[in-house]
Chains A and B, each alone.
Chain A
């Protein structure tokens, strides 16, 4: 079974569709031209047949048409005894057996002695002839069509066919006016006419075979059917009565065209048992009848339809054969693809040395094989490399994790910071950007009344920065414990850091000492950001202070001691630049403004919550963007419980 979305299905369906359309187009073109050719030959046949019928009818009519003309001429030129005319007519009928009867009808009172009517009439009978004068028994022939129409028109006239009295045959009368010269004036004298039965003529047409079920018919000048295979139409129905009864105006138009004397070949407005018909009609010049030949289209095109059906079947058979062949070829050609798919799946599952299909041809499949093979090799090598790299990375990461633990262990993380000293509300946090950060903070009691606290930011990150930070932390704490002022602590620490600082690392650092009795703070700054002082709720500001050189840069750097006093419940908020430079995805910085706003708004909260709130705001601001720098915050609030005197020394 071919899958609908498979390559074979696509190739076969599209190929077959195209071939099928192409063949159909060819078949249609063939059909069109063959049909045209058959139509043309049918037209020729129809015209030939029509002309043949016309010729056959005229062959019957023309020789007898001359008879009354001759007689008319004779009557005009010679003088006859009126009573001798019967024998004249008898002789004519003797010579022309197709004539049924003949009459010489004089105009009223032509022979005054004969009265109004004088019309010798001779009719052929089974044995001999019947003679009579037409005017007898009240028959006023002067008003009959056969007399009146040619008499009025003064021209020969074929009457509209009628039922004759004898045997009720369908008859027609051909009448020719004749003249006499009376007193030098050629005057109309009467009509010579013969009657003939149409049975023979109509039978000729009725019995003509047109293909299997085609037919021919005759239409009179008035559109009446004179010969038709439907016997009951004959003499009763005209094209116009049929059109009216069938409520079919198209038929009426055809009838009008016929009685106008048109000749036409083409589609017939009528169908037979729902099948189309083709008609040819042409006038019979003698008496203005119409001869029509009707061809059933299905018979006309029977051979074409048969041939087209065979061709169509052959086409279908050919398409099926083509489909099978193409399917086999395509299947054979793309079989390696299926095998490659299997191999690819196995490789994807990790079996890199899976067996590739064997390609013997030197075509695109071979190229695919080479590519696959190369890919297999490359993958194997890559995976090997990856394994090694991953192992190395894991080792490094493991060491970094240890280093971080060490680093974090170097900053105090136990809160409350001084459980025995309620006047110190201090909380700090450090969040590294990488595994091991370069920020630091620290706080410790120098003596009973003084607490040292520091915050700093090493110029780099990672293990070296952590080591530098550890060193700085240790030095600051050691120097502070030795009782030095903040500036001295920084100077000493700087000097020591500058020794053997081959990596040229440096650190910004803020160091302060709080007198826990008075709230006075002495501090020195080595290039660190200014801190925020929360004076009261909704009142905080960045405290201006001396900039100071960063530690570790120059041995000779000097620092300045500065002082301030924390009033009860006032808070110092120190931080590293990781806070203000925290960035969102669009590289917008958190900024000092926003930090001050937050501190200002939430400065009344306990330090733990204040810092947590600040961290939350930063987190909300960066919206998951990766942290690029360490973030360190330290908040110190002075909450004295005892009366502090101004005489108490700041540092003992």
Chain B
């Protein structure tokens, strides 16, 4: 009977393609919009994720997300170092500075000031130069997207000079960095140099980066840091989530993307549901014939569910493929523009859209089944 169900489904090509298209369209819209949302959320935390080597971030208790800075006294790093279970702790400057170029134009930068001695937190993927070049006078490392944004269409080269806070800065390296939410270029330099580039404030320490001793649970070490220093401390992932949570709670981004995802679901469900319903109505006579010839309601339900499953799986695969293809195409088109691509197909997205696609076809099949099950076999003689 499964074979007959599939033949009935694929025999009516126009409707078969329309149902698959409906599911594909819904899956594409939902997964693509969700991926952009996830990408934006990810971009909001790119400076946290790009810092490698430290597993604990300590900060002023008033900090709610990575850009919400309350500078601390440099003494904080010593306090963290004194906490049992902390292997090491270093200072991190995170802020923004305005750069003035030789042509006279100004640009805002993200400045990351890493530990002068250890260079912990330096970029790990260098395109030109190396992290140790930060020890050169006035040296900064700029991210590749930022470079393309600042110098569009120009070849990537080292040695460009500009000023920040009336102090000389020279590009000594080009690195790869995760795209940022605000699209500002990201620059890395030493902590001591970063505080000079930034506007003068009494306190300059943004974060203390620390590492838990081997075999110590970082969460337990964070708890001790909080107890002993009064700072807030959390593992890197938790700080990422805290930052994302802030944006989700305090901005309209999730609501707007949520509306688009919901629209995708509704439109897809409408197209697929309506077409599947019409397909079933078209086949009502044949279902009635099968019922008359000895096919029970349970088998009819199985047939309709199989038809729904087939269009669901096909539509899902095509839709997800279209979303991925769209994403790859956009990345390819933007590859030299310096514009970051803000989409990220996090694993819950395919799972979530699979569940949504399943719901669409299940609801469509269920809706259609009402007519089929209510059909009297005697109707074949009318």
Asked whether A and B interact, the reply is: no
